[in-house]
Amino acid sequence: MNLILKISLRNLFRQKRRNVLLGIAIAFGVMILVIANSFANGITDVLLNKLVARIAGHVSIAFSEKSNFNSPIFRDKEKIFSVIKNNNEGVREVEENVGVFGRAIGNGKADTIIIVGIDLSKELSAETRKEIEESFRMIEGTFQDLSRKDVENPTIVSEEKAKYLKVKKGDIIRVRYTNLFGNDQAARLTIVGILKNDNVFMQGVIFAELGNLKKLMGFRPYEIGNISITMNDAPKNAVKLANKIHSQLKPDIAVIYGQLKYNGKIINVSTLGFKTDDESKKVLEKKIKVINGEIDKVSSKKNVLINKTLFDALGIKPGESFEIVYKNKFEDKETIVKYNLTAVFADDEMTDKNIVFLSEDKFYETYYDNLPEDPKKIKDAFYPKANSSLTDILATEWILLKRTSTTDELTKKYKDMGKGKWKATIVDVQTMYESASDVLKLEKALNLITISAVLVLFFIILIGVVNTLRMTIRERTREIGTIRAIGMQKNDVRNTFILETFFLTLFASFIGIASAFVVMRLLSTVTFNVTDNPMSILLVNSHLYFFPTFLGISSNVLFILIIAVVTAYFPARRAANLSPATALRHYE
């Protein structure tokens, strides 16, 4: 084998000019392939990791209260964080994603903006810090200025937005936005910094300190907005983490445990909500029997029902009102709600506890605004037994949407969700591989286009390879006859030619890769001033971005080597099959 290798290598250097020319052609093809592949990877990296992942994280937990996507709020921050804390393997950053659209007025000019919160209290990883510094380059001020207390609502705007609004550092812009509850709200923001960002879609973003923005939006300290999680080795870990978090976010039945006050009597009660969707209504009508009170339907959202046990203890009549006082989980306060009793019901499962039964509309009105203490910690609170038919009709702490694995499934899920009106907070756990799978498809499409174009190029180059090989074989026909005559086997002759092509392609590929890196380096130094062009999202720091990967390059080289070897195989076999006598007789 060593001999064949030696012969192949020696032959490669025998016709230097021809092989150098052919090598240049192959190297050029490899260079184009590597550049194109790295550019496609770069686009995906920018879109996925520098844009989608930065905005929504590799894994995101999204909330929506009362079917309102303008209310991305979850009322119990510590509950969500405890679930994330239990599943922190591979997690790089956990961020609260709070932003709001608004209208900003500068000096005589107005424009649409998005105010985004930045959490300055958190220690960022070096990788994240680098990504942020690359994407948002401060021209004036620093991100730390957002925590300044000496100015009203410090904010950082992009250079383009500042120019449009005719404002500069130290100026005040007035913004109008809608807070979490749909209130039209106004605020004065002081510009403490100006930054440069190449992404045209990010130029409308203005930054505020997270805590400050949350306050402006109406969040209380224990409430939280959407969460984004960035991870190490996201392709491997993201889906696993999302599934884990999803399984641990299964909601319990929502219960308000408090004291009912009526006519001087004080009785401990569990207040439950019943769902009012069509399916639940059917079950409810069958299950719950009204024994006192004139109501058309048990499932009417106006209803306030109590069970017979409570009715017997209170001596209340339908139409009369009562109060429920319950302790809140946060803020160390009590909430008082007043209801008018509409009817009394009897149910076998709900006999041993005092129960107030409300439509979910009424129930959630107070439940979310004044979150009650965790009823699981209260022994006397009512909980339906496992496998009880009640569990399907009782209001839950939130509604957890099922996991999806593709964009199509995700779209369908949201479409189905849009058909109904949900009273509870909707919680959705997703990864960017389903929400942004179109970006991955884009990468595949770009790679396919690149490979198709390069294949055409290689087809032309490989015609050259075949031609060169045929010429070489023709020139060396008598030599083939000689070495066959002195004992070299057919296979060895064939392998000599194949190895010669193999080495030519391999060396040319190395040169092509090296040239690709040089060209990419040169192209990366060219500055493109296209800030008002949507294509600017493909640039990093106004420069083209290439992202070569070892796997990408090695698979490209392997692909080219296979093509070259297969192409060389047939002329080499023909050469090997020549009889030594015929070959020796060959004369030109």
Q: Which residues bind other proteins (CB under 8 A)?
A: 67-70, 103, 105, 110, 174, 176, 178-179, 181-187, 218, 361, 369, 418-421
Q: Which of 244, 234, 221, 214 is nearest to 61 (CA)?
A: 244
Q: Which tokens is 549 given? A: 């990967």
Give all strands of the β-sheet with 91-97 in edge-to-edge order.
Answer: 91-97, 226-231, 59-64, 426-431, 399-400
Q: Which tokens is 50 given? A: 């520098």
Spacing of C-alpha 440 from chain mean position = 12
| Nearer residue to other proteins within complex by CB, 147 or 185 | 185
| Nearer residue to other proteins within complex by CB, 67 or 268 | 67
Rounded to a whole number, what is the distance in angstroms from the first to the last CA of the chain? Answer: 31
DSSP β-ladder status, 543-544 and 539-540: antiparallel
Q: Which residues contact 164 (CB under 8 A, 6 or more apart)?
A: 106, 109, 111
Q: Which strand (E) or helix (H) includes residue 365? A: helix 360-367
How far apart are CB 180 and other proteins at their closest, in Å? Answer: 8
| Nearer residue to other proteins within complex by CB, 416 or 475 | 416
How far apart are CB 167 and other proteins at their closest, in Å? Answer: 16
CA distance 23 to 376: 75
Q: Which residues contact 379 (CB under 8 A, 6 or more apart)?
A: none
DSSP string, 232-249: TTHHHHHHHHHHHHHHHT
How far apart are CB 243 and other proteins at their closest, in Å? Answer: 28
How far apart are CB 330 and other proteins at their closest, in Å? Answer: 17
CA distance 354 to 351: 8
| Nearer residue to other proteins within complex by CB, 333 or 385 | 333
How far apart are CB 133 and other proteins at their closest, in Å? Answer: 33
Q: Which residues contact 253 (CB under 8 A, 6 or more apart)?
A: 272, 383, 384, 391, 394, 395, 396, 397
| Nearer residue to other proteins within complex by CB, 182 or 319 | 182
- DSSP secondary structure letter of residue 334: E
How far apart are CB 407 and other proteins at their closest, in Å? Answer: 19
- DSSP secondary structure letter of residue 68: B
| Nearer residue to other proteins within complex by CB, 178 or 243 | 178
Taking phi over 0 as left and psi of -120 to 50 as alpha, with beta for the rest, 494 belongs to: alpha
| Nearer residue to other proteins within complex by CB, 97 or 276 | 276
| Nearer residue to other proteins within complex by CB, 64 or 515 | 64
SS3 track for 313-372: HHCCCCCCEEEEEEEECCCCCEEEEEEECCEEEECCCCCCCCEEEEEHHHHHHHHCCCCE
| Nearer residue to other proteins within complex by CB, 309 or 366 | 366
The phi, psi pair for 250, rounded to 5°, reads -65, 125
Q: Number of helices (H) and strands (E), helices first, in the chain? A: 18, 22
| Nearer residue to other proteins within complex by CB, 66 or 484 | 66
How far apart are CB 163 and other proteins at their closest, in Å? Answer: 16
CA distance 62 to 417: 14
How far apart are CB 61 and other proteins at their closest, in Å? Answer: 21
| Nearer residue to other proteins within complex by CB, 361 or 479 | 361
How far apart are CB 164 and other proteins at their closest, in Å? Answer: 12
Q: Which of 389, 390, 397, 401 is nearest to 423 (CA)?
A: 397
Q: What single-letter amino acid sits at 571?
A: P
Cross-strand pairs, 93: 230
CA distance 52 to 58: 8
Q: Which tokens is 3 given? A: 């001999």
How far apart are CB 280 and other proteins at their closest, in Å? Answer: 14
| Nearer residue to other proteins within complex by CB, 15 or 179 | 179
How far apart are CB 182 and other proteins at their closest, in Å? Answer: 5
Cross-strand pairs, 292: 344
How far apart are CB 411 and other proteins at their closest, in Å? Answer: 13
Q: Which tokens is 294 given? A: 């004139």
